[in-house]
Structure 1
Amino acid sequence: MIWEALLYGLGSGGGVYIALLSNKWKKTKQWEDVSFLQGIGLVAWCIGSVLALSPVWWMQKLSLPVSLITYASFLRSLHVFPLATHATSGRWKMIIDTLALVVTFALMVVIHDLTYQAEGHSPAMMYWQGGFYLLLPAFSIFLIIRQLQGTARLKRERLLLSTILFIAVTMMTPMVPSSVLIWCVLVSFVCLFFAHRGLGQQQILHIAKTEYRYLFERQKFGKQDAIISQFMLLSITFALVGIPQIPYYGRVGLGAGILFGLVRVYLTTRENRILMNQTLVAASHLEQKYENQLEQIQLQNKKLSQVLGLKQNYEYLLLASNEQSLREVNYETLQQVIEELVDTWFARMDTLTFFQLSLESKSGEVYFRLERGSRGYSGSLHHVNTRMIVSEQRDTALVPRYVSLFAQTSVVDQGHAELDHSFFQVLLVNVRGLILRCLHEHQALELGVMETEMGLARRIQSMLIPKEELIIKGLRARTVYAPITYVGGDYVDYIRIDDRYVCFIVADVSGHGLPASLLATGISSAARAVLQTSWSPDVILERLNQLLYENLSKTRLFITMMVACYDSYEHKLLLSRAGHPKPLYLSTTRQSVLDCRGGVGLGLLPDSTYPLEEVLLKEDAMLLIYTDGLVNTGRKDAFHYLQQWLGGLSALLDDPGNTNDEVIDRVESYVWGMTRREKQIDDISVLILQFQSDPHTKVQ
C-alpha cells in the first residue's frame, strides 16, 4: 500500500514535468500539445489509482471519473499527435470518439452499480474497453509514422511505443498482482518521461506539396482509419456475440460502442467518398495542367527549332558582313559593295518580302537608294522603319547624314520580329561602317598630303628665321626658335640696312598654327618693304601697322612686335615696342627687365604711335628679346617666373670661368634647356644680342 502510494506520487510529479514541457516549447494552444495532454492524463491516472486504494467506498467511486480523464486525455493526445498535414484527424472524429468513451464508461458504471450493489467494486470491463479505444487509433498512427524518415520518425515512434506500453499497463490493472503491476507502472513511467523529454518542439510535418498529393495522402489515411474503425466494430461485435461470460453491464457498454462505431464508420466512409471526388477533380486538373505544360514544351521546342534555324541564318549573314568589311573600299566602289551586302541579306532572310535602303540628308534628300522585292499588303506584314546617323558633322553625297531602312517581313511572332529588327540594325551598322571607312581612308590621304604640305611650310618658315650667328663690330646675335606645332606664329629676323644700321625684329602673331604662320611670313615681306625708306624703329612700327591693319582687322588678329636698330657708329640701340614683352638686360652691374615704353599691338588701332627709346651701350652686356611663350608655361605668376630667368642668366654671367666668347653659347644652351624642361603651350622665340663696350673690337 505504501509503495504503491509512493509510486503514484512519483508518477504524478513526472506527469506535471511532462505537462510543463509544453511551456518550454512555447506552445500557444496547450490542448493541442501531446506532452501537456499526456502529462495531465498521467497525473489523473495516478490520482485515480490512489483513490482506488482507499478503503472508503465513495473515494473508490470517485476514482472512476478521474480515471476517465486519463483515457480522455490520452485519446485527445492521439488525435493531435504530431504527424504530417494529411494525417491530422478531423474534429468530428475526436468528438465521436470522446462521446463513445464517456457514454460507454457511464453506462458500464451505472448499470454495474445498479446490478451488483457492491461498495468499492469497480467494473473490470472498463479498463479493457477503455484501453481498446486507445489502442486502435494508436495502431493507425503507427502505420503513418512508418512513412516518415530520419530523426522525426525515431522520436515519434519512441513516444508512440511508450504510450502503447502505458495503455497496456492500464488494461492489466484488474488481473495483475500489485507487486508485478508496480514494476510495470514504473517502467511505463520511465519510458514516457524520456520519450517526451527527447521529443523536442512538436511540429506538423509538411509532406504533401501539391493539392493532388495532399488529397491522395489524406484519402489513403482515411482508408486506413476506416479499416481500423471497421476492425474495432467487428471486434466489439465478436466479443459481444462470442463471449457469453461478459457481464450484463459489459454487454450494454459494448452495445454502445457498436452504435458509435457504426456512426463513425458511416461518417468516415462518406468523408472518404468526398475525398475521392476531390482527388479525381484534382487529378483531372493536374492532368490538364500537364497537358498544357506539354503543349508549352512542344511550342517552346518549335520556337527553339526556329531560333536555331534563324541562328544559323544570321550567323551566315554576320560572316558575310564581316567579309564585306574586310574588303578594300573607297568612294568609287562604295555603292557596289553596299549593293552586294544588301543582296546577300535579302536572299538569306526568308521572311523578308520588301527591302529598301537609302542614304539621306538631314532635310530628307535621297543621295542613293536600293530596293529589293515588292511591296505587299500592309495589313498582313510586319513593318520595320529605322535609320541611323552616319555623321553629325557632314551631310554630303559621299558622307550622308543618315542611312535609312524600310522593310516588310512576313513574321507574325513578336519575338521573331524583334530579332529581325535587331539584325536590321546590324546591317545599318555595317553600311555605316563602310561609309566611315571610306571617310577615314580619304581623311588619312588628305592628312598625309596635309602633313607633307605642313612640313614644306615649316621648312619655308624656318628658312625665314636666321640660323647663322650675326657678327659685327661690338655685336653678336643669335636666335632660338621653337614652334609648338609644325609652323608657328612667331617671327624673328635681323636685316642689314646699310653699313651703319642693323634692324632686329621679334614679332608674335596672336594664336598659333597655320593662320598665324601665314601672317608671320607676311611680316617678312612687309618689313623689308618698309626698311627701304625707314630705319627708325618707331616709324617702322607705324608704317607696318598701316600696311597690315586692314588684313588683321578682318581676321580679328593682332601682332606684338619689338623693333631694335643698332647704330654701329655711335654704338647705341634704338628700340620701339608694340605690345611686346619688355626685354631682359644683363650686365655685370645690372640684371633687370629693361624699362621701355610702348604702344598697342599692330592691327588694334589704325593710327597707333610708338615711342622711341635709346640705349647707350657703355659696358659689356646682353639683351634678350623674346615672345611671351618663353614665360607663358601655364604658371599663374609670370612675373616670378621671369625673375627666375633673370636669376639663372645672371648666375651664368657671374661665373668667373666664362670667357667672352663662351657666354653667348652658355646662354643659348640655358634657354634651350629651360624651354624643353617646361610644358610648352605657345610658340617660343628668343633673340640674343651680346654687346661689347669697345665697338672697335670685333667679337670672335
Structure 2
Amino acid sequence: MVGDWVIWEASLYATGVFVACLFLLSSRHLITFKRWYDFSFLYGMALLAWGLGHLFRLHPNLLLKLLASPVSFLFYLFLLMAFHAFPLSPHLYYERWKSVLDIIILSAIYLTYTLTVWFDPSRSALYEPLVHAQASLFILGRAYTVYMGNEKNAQRDHNHLLLVGAVLFLLFDTTGHHFFKKPMEILTAVTFAVILLGLYNMRKLRGKVDVLDEYLYFHEKLSFQFRDDHVNRAYFFLSIILLIAIPHHPPVFLLGTGISLFMLLGRIYFTRRENDAAMQEMFHLSRSLEKQFEENMQEIRQKNEHLSNLLSAKQSYEMLLVESNRQSMREVHFENLHQLIEEIADAWYANMIGLDFLRISLRSQGGTSYYETVRGRPEARGETPHRPVSLTVLVGDRADTPLVPRQIVIEALTTPTFRSDTEMEDSIFNLLAIHIRGLIQRCLQNQQALELRLMEQEMELASRIQFSLIPKERLVLPGLQAKAVYLPVASIGGDYVDYVAIDDRFSCFLVADISGHGIPASLLTTGLRIAFRAVLQTTMAPNEILDRLNRLMHEDLAKTRSFITMFVAVYDQQAGVLRTSRAGHPQPLYLSAAKQMILPCANGIGLGLIPETRYKMDEWPVEEDFILVIYTDGLTDLGRKEEALTAQDWLQRFRAAVSADKREASDRIAAIEEEVRQRTRAMEQEDDISLLILDVKARPAAAPLPGSTAARSGR
C-alpha cells in the first residue's frame, strides 16, 4: 500500500513537471514588451521546481535529497516573481524595486530556515512547516493584491481562472506538507486541471485595453498600492505574533527573522511615501476636476443663454417657416419650378423683418446665371447701416443645366433691426437656399421616377418578347420528348433555347448562351432566333449549322464585343441517330438505365470569335432509352463557390430524381425540371439558367450497331 502511494506521489510530481513544460512552451506566445519574462514562463519554472524538488526528496540518492531544499526554494521564488509579472491593466504593476525587495525578503526567510536547521537539525520538524507557512503567506499576500487588481481587467475572463488555480495550488501544497497530506495531494492533482484550463483561456488574450479617464486611472492605481501596503502590514504583524507565540527561538532564527522584518519595514515605509505622493497627485487632480467642472458649468450657462436666443428667433420666424412648408407640400416639376421660386421669394421678402433686398440666382459652375429673381432695392448696398449676406449652396456635382443648375446663390441686405445674432441670420438664409435646392431635387427625382417607369415598361415588354421566343410546350415526337426550362437571373437574359420538328425524319435542338445580361444580350437572342430558323432551311448537319451561324452573326457580335456558346443536336428518327456539335458550350449530361456520364462531345470555340471556324460533328446511335440534359453554365454556377454543384454532382442528382422508386418513367422530364427549380429557389442565382431535356426512346426493332456506342467523329 505504501509502495502504491509512493508511485502515486511520483506520478503527481511528474505531472507537475509536464504541466510546467506546457507553460514554458506557451510562454513564447505571451512575452510582453516590458519584461524579458512573463507570468506563463515564471509559473512554468515554479511548477518545474516544485515537481523536481519533490521528486528529489523521493529519490534514494543523498545528493538529490540535498538538492531538494534549494529546488523547493526556487519554487517559491519563481511563484513570487510570477505573481509580480501577472498581466494586469497597464497602469497596475509592481515597481522594479518592490519586486527586487520582495525577492530579497523571501530569500532571507528561506535562508533563515536553512541556517537554523543547519546549526540545530533537531528543530527541523518545527521550522520546516513554519518556513513553508511563512513563504506561502508572503506570496499569498501578493496573490491577493493581484487578484483584486484583476477584477476590473479587460482580460479578466481569460486569465482569472489561471490566477485562481495558482492560488489554490499554493494553498493545497502548503497544507499538504504536514496536514491532510493525501487529501491535499488529490486536490493538487485536481488543481492541475484548473491550471491547464486557465492556460488554454490565457492563450486567447486579446489586445483590448480599457481606456480610462485620468481620475479612474489614479483611483485604480492608488487602490492597488494601498492593498499592497495593507498586505505587507498584515504579514508584518503576523510574523511578530508568530515570534511571540513560539518561544525559545535560536539566535540564528531571531537574527534572520529580524533582518527580513527590517527589510519589510523598509518596504512598508517607502510604499507609504509613494502612496502619499500618489494621494497628493490625486488631490491635485480633484482640484483640477473641480475647476474644469466650474468651467463646464459656465459654458453650459452660455449655451443655455444662446439656446434662449434661438427659441426667441424661432418664434420670430415661425410664420416664415410655415409658409415655406406650405410651398413644399405643393406638387413640383420643372414646368412650374420657377413659379414656385417666385412665390417663395415673395413670402420671404414679405415676412422677414428688416430684409431690404433679396436676390435668388440659379447659376452654373462658371457663374453663368440660368435664372434670377430679385425683391427690394439693389441700390441699398450703398446705404448704411446694412449688413450684406451672400451664400452659395451646391445642388449637385453631376448635372449643370438650366433645369438642374450647379449652385444656388442667395444675396441679401438686412438692417440692424432684423437680428443682432448674425449666426442665426445666416442660418435662416441657408434654410432658404436648402429649401430651393430641395425643390430642384424633387423635380429631378420625379423626372427620374417617370423615366424609371418607362424603362420598367420597356423591360417588361422585352421580357415578354424573350419568353415568347422560348418554347413553352413539351415537344412530343415518336420516340422522343423534349422540354425547355428557362430561368433568367433578371427579367431578361442572354440564354436561348429552341427546338424545331423540321419534318417527319429530322428534329433540331439548340441551346445557346450569349455573353452578358440584360437588354443587349436579349436583343442578340432575337437575331439568333431569326438566323437559326433561316439556316435550318439550308442544312440538317449540326456542324454546318454552327458554321453558318458563326459567319452570319460574326460582324454583329464583334461590334458588341460579345460571343455565343452553343450546342446543336439533330435527331434522325429514321436512322436512329442523334448528331451533335458544340461551340464552347458545356458537355451535356447522359442518363440511361445502364450508365450515367458527361457526354464526351467534340468542342469548338464560341461563335463570333473567329469568322472562318469549322466545327466537328459527333454521331450517337440510339441503342437504349436515355435522357440528355443540355444546359448553360448558369446551372453549375448556382450558389456560392463552396455550395456550387459540379456537372458530376448534377448528374447524380438527376439520376436520383428519375429513379424508378421516385418517378414514373413517363415523367422523367418533369422530375429533372422540378429538381432544378427547387435547387434554384434554395440557392443564390448569379447567371441565367437554361436547360433542354431530351427523353429519347430506342426503337424496338433497332438492333445494336456493331462496335461501341462511343462518338464517331464527323466533319
TM-score range, shorter chain: 0.5 to 0.7
SS of equivalent residue, structure 1 residue 452: helix
Q: For the residues of structure 1 that align with 2:335 and 2:319, how far apart are their CA atoms?
A: 27
Q: Which of 342, 359, 364 is the equivalent residue of 2:362?
A: 359
Cα gap change, 1:330 to 1:509, in 2 (>3 Å): same
Work out whether 1:338 is the aligned partner of 2:336.
no
Unmatched segments (≥5 aa) in structure 2 = 1-301, 703-715
Q: For the residues of structure 2 that align with 1:300 and 1:651, how far apart are their CA atoms?
A: 76
Q: Which of 627, 636, 660 is the equivalent residue of 2:641?
A: 636
Q: Which of 437, 441, 456 is the equivalent residue of 1:436?
A: 441
Work out whether 1:324 is the aligned partner of 2:327.
yes
Q: Which residue of 2 aligns with 1:575?
A: 580
1:103-144 per-position Cα deviation (integer Å, ceiling 9, x unaligned): xxxxxxxxxxxxxxxxxxxxxxxxxxxxxxxxxxxxxxxxxx
Cα gap change, 1:372 to 1:606, in 2 (>3 Å): farther
Work out whether 1:425 is the aligned partner of 2:423.
no
How far residue 306 of structure 1 moved from its aligned partner, in angstroms, is 7.5
How far residue 669 of structure 1 moved from its aligned partner, in angstroms, is 1.4
Q: For the residues of structure 1 that align with 2:518 and 2:436, how far apart are their CA atoms?
A: 36
Structure 1 counterpart of 2:472, one-letter code: K
How far residue 678 of structure 1 moved from its aligned partner, in angstroms, is 0.9
Question: Is contact 1:480–1:685 with CA below 8 Å preserved after alignment?
Answer: yes
Q: For the residues of structure 1 that align with 2:305 and 2:601, how far apart are their CA atoms?
A: 93
Question: Is contact 1:536–1:565 with CA below 8 Å preserved after alignment?
Answer: yes
How far residue 366 of structure 1 moved from its aligned partner, in angstroms, is 2.7
How far residue 692 of structure 1 moved from its aligned partner, in angstroms, is 0.7
Structure 1 counterpart of 2:421, one-letter code: H
SS of equivalent residue, structure 2 residue 323: helix
Q: For the residues of structure 1 that align with 2:383 and 2:620, how far apart are their CA atoms?
A: 92
Work out whether 1:490 is the aligned partner of 2:501.
no
How far residue 361 of structure 1 moved from its aligned partner, in angstroms, is 3.0
Q: Which residue of 1 aligns with 2:565?
A: 560
1:308-346 per-position Cα deviation (integer Å, ceiling 9, x unaligned): 663223222221111111111122211111111122112
How far residue 301 of structure 1 moved from its aligned partner, in angstroms, is 13
Question: Is contact 2:639–2:686 with CA below 8 Å preserved after alignment?
Answer: yes
The within-5 A match list for 1:15-164 is: none
Q: Which residue of 1 aligns with 2:697?
A: 692
Q: For the residues of structure 2 that align with 1:644 and 1:464, how far apart are their CA atoms?
A: 30
Q: Which of 445, 448, 457 is the equivalent residue of 1:452?
A: 457
Q: Which residue of 2 aligns with 1:370?
A: 373
Question: Is contact 1:468–1:478 with CA below 8 Å preserved after alignment?
Answer: yes
Question: Is contact 2:363–2:408 with CA below 8 Å preserved after alignment?
Answer: yes
How far residue 657 of structure 1 moved from its aligned partner, in angstroms, is 5.8
Question: Is contact 1:473–1:696 with CA below 8 Å preserved after alignment?
Answer: no
SS of equivalent residue, structure 1 residue 622: strand
Question: Is contact 1:588–1:653 with CA below 8 Å preserved after alignment?
Answer: no
Unmatched segments (≥5 aa) in structure 1 = 1-298
Q: Which residue of 2 aligns with 1:614?
A: 619
Q: For the residues of structure 1 that align with 2:383 and 2:373, how far apart are their CA atoms?
A: 20
How far residue 656 of structure 1 moved from its aligned partner, in angstroms, is 4.2
The within-5 A match list for 1:509-528 is: 509-528=514-533
Q: Which of 673, 676, 680 is the equivalent residue of 2:678?
A: 673
SS of equivalent residue, structure 1 residue 357: strand
Q: For the residues of structure 1 that align with 2:592 and 2:314, how far apart are their CA atoms?
A: 84
Work out whether 1:394 is the aligned partner of 2:399.
yes
Structure 1 counterpart of 2:376, one-letter code: G
Structure 2 counterpart of 1:600, one-letter code: I
Question: Is contact 2:638–2:685 with CA below 8 Å preserved after alignment?
Answer: yes
The within-5 A match list for 1:182-221 is: none
Question: Is contact 1:542–1:610 with CA below 8 Å preserved after alignment?
Answer: yes
1:409-436 per-position Cα deviation (integer Å, ceiling 9, x unaligned): 3349996222122122211221111112
Question: Is contact 2:486–2:690 with CA below 8 Å preserved after alignment?
Answer: yes
Work out whether 1:660 is the aligned partner of 2:645.
no
How far residue 687 of structure 1 moved from its aligned partner, in angstroms, is 0.7
The within-5 A match list for 1:461-480 is: 461-480=466-485
Tell me which moved more, 461-470 or 299-308: 299-308
Cα gap change, 1:371 to 1:609, in 2 (>3 Å): farther
Q: For the residues of structure 1 that align with 2:325 and 2:700, how far apart are their CA atoms?
A: 78
Cα gap change, 1:596 to 1:510, in 2 (>3 Å): same
Structure 2 counterpart of 1:604, one-letter code: L
Q: For the residues of structure 2 that align with 1:695 and 1:556, how far apart are their CA atoms?
A: 49
Q: For the residues of structure 2 that align with 1:482 and 1:373, how far apart are their CA atoms?
A: 66
SS of equivalent residue, structure 2 residue 421: helix
Question: Is contact 1:587–1:653 with CA below 8 Å preserved after alignment?
Answer: no
Identity between Structure 1 and Structure 2 (%)? 48
How far residue 623 of structure 1 moved from its aligned partner, in angstroms, is 0.8
Structure 2 counterpart of 1:311, one-letter code: K
Question: Is contact 1:474–1:695 with CA below 8 Å preserved after alignment?
Answer: no
Q: For the residues of structure 2 that align with 1:461 and 1:696, how far apart are their CA atoms?
A: 41
Q: Which of 302, 305, 312 is the equivalent residue of 2:315?
A: 312
Q: For the residues of structure 1 that align with 2:530 and 2:514, how far apart are their CA atoms?
A: 15
Work out whether 1:591 is the aligned partner of 2:603.
no
Q: Which of 362, 384, 387 is the equivalent residue of 2:389?
A: 384
Say which one has the larger Rg: 1
SS of equivalent residue, structure 1 residue 615: strand
Cα gap change, 1:640 to 1:481, in 2 (>3 Å): closer
Cα gap change, 1:356 to 1:552, in 2 (>3 Å): farther
SS of equivalent residue, structure 1 residue 628: coil
Q: For the residues of structure 1 that align with 2:315 and 2:499, how far apart are their CA atoms?
A: 76
Q: TM-score normalized by structure 1?
A: 0.53
Question: Is contact 1:492–1:505 with CA below 8 Å preserved after alignment?
Answer: yes
What is the total number of aligned residue pairs between the two structures?
Answer: 399
Question: Is contact 2:629–2:693 with CA below 8 Å preserved after alignment?
Answer: yes
1:68-95 per-position Cα deviation (integer Å, ceiling 9, x unaligned): xxxxxxxxxxxxxxxxxxxxxxxxxxxx
Q: For the residues of structure 2 that align with 1:457 and 1:585, how far apart are their CA atoms?
A: 34
Q: For the residues of structure 2 that align with 1:405 and 1:667, how far apart are their CA atoms?
A: 68
Q: For the residues of structure 1 that align with 2:394 and 2:478, how far apart are their CA atoms?
A: 69
How far residue 475 of structure 1 moved from its aligned partner, in angstroms, is 0.8
The within-5 A match list for 1:227-246 is: none
Cα gap change, 1:552 to 1:312, in 2 (>3 Å): same
Question: Is contact 1:561–1:577 with CA below 8 Å preserved after alignment?
Answer: yes
Work out whether 1:649 is the aligned partner of 2:658.
no
Q: For the residues of structure 2 that align with 1:492 and 1:479, how far apart are their CA atoms?
A: 7
Q: For the residues of structure 2 that align with 1:301 and 1:598, how far apart are their CA atoms?
A: 81
Cα gap change, 1:567 to 1:352, in 2 (>3 Å): same
Structure 1 counterpart of 2:604, one-letter code: G
Question: Is contact 2:514–2:563 with CA below 8 Å preserved after alignment?
Answer: yes
Q: For the residues of structure 2 that align with 1:302 and 1:470, how far apart are their CA atoms?
A: 85
How far residue 395 of structure 1 moved from its aligned partner, in angstroms, is 2.9
Structure 1 counterpart of 2:344, one-letter code: L
Question: Is contact 1:382–1:412 with CA below 8 Å preserved after alignment?
Answer: no
Q: For the residues of structure 1 that align with 2:362 and 2:438, how far apart are their CA atoms?
A: 13
Question: Is contact 2:355–2:418 with CA below 8 Å preserved after alignment?
Answer: no
Question: Is contact 2:310–2:424 with CA below 8 Å preserved after alignment?
Answer: no
Question: Is contact 1:568–1:695 with CA below 8 Å preserved after alignment?
Answer: no
